[in-house]
Amino acid sequence: MKVLFRIVSCLLFASMAWAAERPNVLFIAVDDLRPELACYGKSYIKSPNIDRIAKAGIRFNHAYCQQAVCSPSRSSLMTGTRPDTTRVWDLVTHFRQALPDVVTLGQHFKQNGYFVQGMGKIYHGGYDDPVTWSVPWQTPKAVMYALPENVALNQRRLEGEPDGTPAERKGGRKQDRSAQGAPSSNRDTRGPAFEGADVPDNTFQDGKVAELAVSTLRDLSGKKEPFFLAVGFIKPHLPFVAPKKYWNLYDPSRIQLAPNKFRPTDAPDYAIVPGGEMRAYHGIPEGSIPDDLARQLKHGYYAAVSYMDAQVGKVLDELDRLGLRKNTIVVLWGDHGWKLGEHDAWCKHTACENDTNAPLLLSVPGMKNAGAGTDALVEFVDIYPTLCELAGLPLPAHLEGTSFKPLLEDPGRPWKTAAFSQYPRNPGQTKAGALMGYSMRTSRYRFTVWVGREDHSKVEAVELYDHQADPQENTNIARQPAQAERVKSLMEQWRRGWQGARPGAAATAAAR
């Protein structure tokens, strides 16, 4: 009996020691954040706290979301599967409809002994997934605007979060079609697109979320089990609202407008949409946005980025103060990119570089290449397996991404040959009916194939952009005779899909 007691005691002690050694995870999600940050070489942006994560970790220069709109991107990342598996291509579908038993990222950590808590925008607004969390997810209530005149204007709009909630899009109300890049059915029903009032940070949601995260970290620091804390910030999502002090960080006369205020040459007209989401805000005209207004919008976006960055800083400061940083993985990601006038368009809702390329930063305690960057192609669907591997957790069989942990050891090693994104177009947006644009980004090219939504063998259009000669994707060269062999080769690679682009996949195929 004494022997049995000693064995049980040893096993219990080993289990407790293993739990104590496992790293915590601080999982920071940011809405509509493009890789226009100081740590990405844009020194005019004031993002000192996000830069702290980059300095202590690794910066991914070529990280791509799987679909450039909130719910599809977040559903893909949190389930570790791609939009055609989640069946989430819009803002009105929950991934549990197609995947009722899928184990989400947070759920997997919870099942493996982690205390998992979420706050702010992790899943798309109005949709939660209770089994993901150890305790109910929460978001503090806050005003959208501070100035009374803007509050009054905004009272005309449908209630809910900026992209609209499921309740707004059902029950007889008009659906906000901006999720598909269509002109908004809520034209000019919201408040202004920007505001800079002299108010405290905690006037708005991100400030309150930061306060909640700080208090939660204090509670978690006393727990025996490791934690996975998901903190979601909504800025710089529209409207570009931030306290005045963040507007004051930028001189509007020095803000540069997009250099390519025109649609891509020889691209299908539905490849880039103008940004119906933006037109739902008061004072935004249809058609091309005048330069003076565009400069104000960019000023507001930059201010919102710096406001959000300051909230990230408060959470990092508390992590440091509590002595938790030395055993905490920190990952920050933007759910997709964003256009600020490029191609004479705004917002997301396309499969172009501006929309699919988003920031991804990862800091791991003790990593040897802290402060490095990598040009390796990675996808947001890879985040799930990477965090599992870093935490020593088994990988679920359903995952459709690849852990990029090896890049932490060698940022320059050969990696994926392509990253994949997609975006749908509805029948009213094309003459060919419902289409899906499947886009493949290689180290040099972006190759997009538009096919029938139901019949993928029916190719309606092809786009090819050479990032070596045309990094802004201004000219589609797919139909140029000189590119015929290139298009043929890329089409073959595109047909092999994400499975054929995994590290070592080409060598494995050649050896068969």
Beta bridge partners of 424: 436
What is the model's pLDDT at position 507?
Answer: 53
User: Over the Cα atoms of the chain, what is R_g?
Assistant: 23
Burial of 278 (0-12, 13-18, 19+ CB in 10 A): buried
Paired tokens of 507: 């060598």
* Beta strand pairing call for 58-64 and 360-363: antiparallel
**Active site residues per annotation:** 70, 124
Give the amino acid at 177: R
Nearest to 347 by CA among 83, 32, 29, 31: 32
Apex 380 CA angle, 375 and 383, nearest 5:
95
Q: Give the long-range contacts of residues 478-486, CB within 8 A, separation 24 or more.
A: 478/266, 479/266, 486/445
What is the model's pLDDT at position 254?
Answer: 97
CATH code 3.40.720.10 for 23-409 = yes
| CA–CA separation, 242 and 297 (whole Å) | 12
| CA–CA separation, 338 and 348 (whole Å) | 5
What is the model's pLDDT at position 508?
Answer: 54
Give the amino acid at 387: L
| CA–CA separation, 237 and 315 (whole Å) | 20
Burial 409-423 (b: 16+ CB within 10 A, else e): eebeeebbbbbbbbb
| CA–CA separation, 512 and 15 (whole Å) | 43
Paired tokens of 47: 């993002």
Alpha helices by DSSP H, listed for 22-161, are 48-56, 70-79, 83-86, 105-111, 148-154
Domain positions in the chain: 23-409
Apex 393 CA angle, 391 and 395, nearest 5:
125
What is the model's pLDDT at position 7?
Answer: 41
What is the model's pLDDT at position 299?
Answer: 98
pLDDT by 10s per residue, the chain, length 512? 544 444 434 333 334 344 448 999 999 999 999 999 999 999 999 999 999 999 999 999 999 999 999 999 999 999 999 999 999 999 999 999 999 999 999 999 999 999 999 999 999 988 899 999 999 999 999 999 999 999 999 987 544 445 544 444 443 333 444 445 544 456 778 999 999 999 999 999 999 999 999 999 999 998 999 999 999 999 999 999 999 999 999 999 999 999 999 999 999 999 999 999 999 999 999 999 999 999 999 999 999 999 999 999 999 999 999 999 999 999 999 999 999 999 999 999 999 999 999 999 999 999 999 999 999 999 999 999 999 999 999 999 999 999 999 999 999 999 999 999 999 999 989 988 999 999 999 999 999 999 999 888 899 999 999 999 999 999 999 999 999 999 999 999 999 999 999 998 865 554 44
What is the model's pLDDT at position 13?
Answer: 37
| CA–CA separation, 388 and 369 (whole Å) | 20
What is the model's pLDDT at position 163?
Answer: 55
Largest CA distance in the chain: 83
Give the amino acid at 276: G
